[in-house]
Amino acid sequence: MDECRHIEAPFSAEVARELQAGQRVLLSGVIFGARDQAHRRFAEALARGEELPVDLRGQIIYYVGPTPARPGHACGAAGPTTAGRMDAFTPQLLAYGVRGIIAKGNRSPEVIAAIRQHGAVYLAATGGAGALLSRCIKDAQVVAYPDLGPEAVWRFVVEKFPATVAIDSRGQNLYQFGPARYRSANSTT
């Protein structure tokens, strides 16, 4: 799958259903950043029946805790956090209405089931490329839980933010079929 699809964020449920595992995308628009402690607070608020401080229904959450911005930049390095760290919270947030997630690494069977159930997508960003990814962030503002510092909830305006569809809304998982496809394409006969 060589095409790279340009997508406006947030995207519709229809766009989420069209995306296929292995497809490369460039996101432009608004996404939200949140890490472990923000996710814990989201889960606690939802368990109490409270609204979240930011309406994340239909939105994309990037698992990130950016470093401080250098002068003239929207934020510092903004590399993806390992997705498994949020697996305990993800099914609840997908049920709430989160449409997409950006992080790195595979997901648990429970998260994959929730992705399928709610028609969401999981996008993988390249780990170790935080300084490069931050160039795609044109504006960064803390919108909730400022006491958490870099783990606060951020609103990012991104332009051509690169990601790969790792798990699509049907549960197709690049982390499962990708290695086999690579081995097959690179085997010697």
Give strand ranges (E) for the chain.
Answer: 4-9, 24-33, 60-62, 100-103, 121-124, 137-144, 153-167
Please give the Cα distance from 10 to 171 (Å, whole number). Answer: 20
Give Dmax over CA atoms of the chain in angstroms. Answer: 60
What pLDDT is stored for residue 187 in this prediction?
73
What pLDDT is stored for residue 183 in this prediction?
67
What pLDDT is stored for residue 122 in this prediction?
98
pTM, two decimals, is 0.93
Dihedrals φ, ψ of 138, to 5°?
-95, -20
Please give the Cα distance from 169 to 116 (Å, whole number). Answer: 5
User: Which residues have a Cβ under 8 Å from the Cβ of 169 and sit 6 or more positions away?
Assistant: 16, 17, 19, 115, 116, 119, 120, 121
Please give the Cα distance from 166 to 171 (Å, whole number). Answer: 9
- Say whether pLDDT at 1 is over 60: no
Of 188 and 112, the one with more pLDDT: 112
- pLDDT band, residue 186 (cuts 50/70/90): confident
User: Which residues have a Cβ under 8 Å from the Cβ of 112 and sit 6 or more positions away?
Assistant: 167, 171, 173
- Asked if residues 72 and 41 have their Cβ atoms less than 8 Å apart, the reply is no
What pLDDT is stored for residue 2 in this prediction?
62
Domains and CATH numbers, the chain: 4-185 (3.20.130.10)
Per-residue pLDDT tens digits for 95-122: 999 999 999 999 999 999 999 999 999 9
Mean pLDDT of the chain: 94
Please compute the mean of the pLDDT values over residues 33-51 and round it to a whole number: 96
DSSP code at position 21: T
What pLDDT is stored for residue 17 in this prediction?
97
Per-residue pLDDT tens digits for 127-182: 889 999 999 999 999 999 999 998 999 999 999 999 999 999 999 999 987 667 76
1, 105, 123, 138 from 92: Cα distances, Å:
31, 19, 18, 30
Tally of helices (H runs) and strands (E runs) in the chain = 6, 7
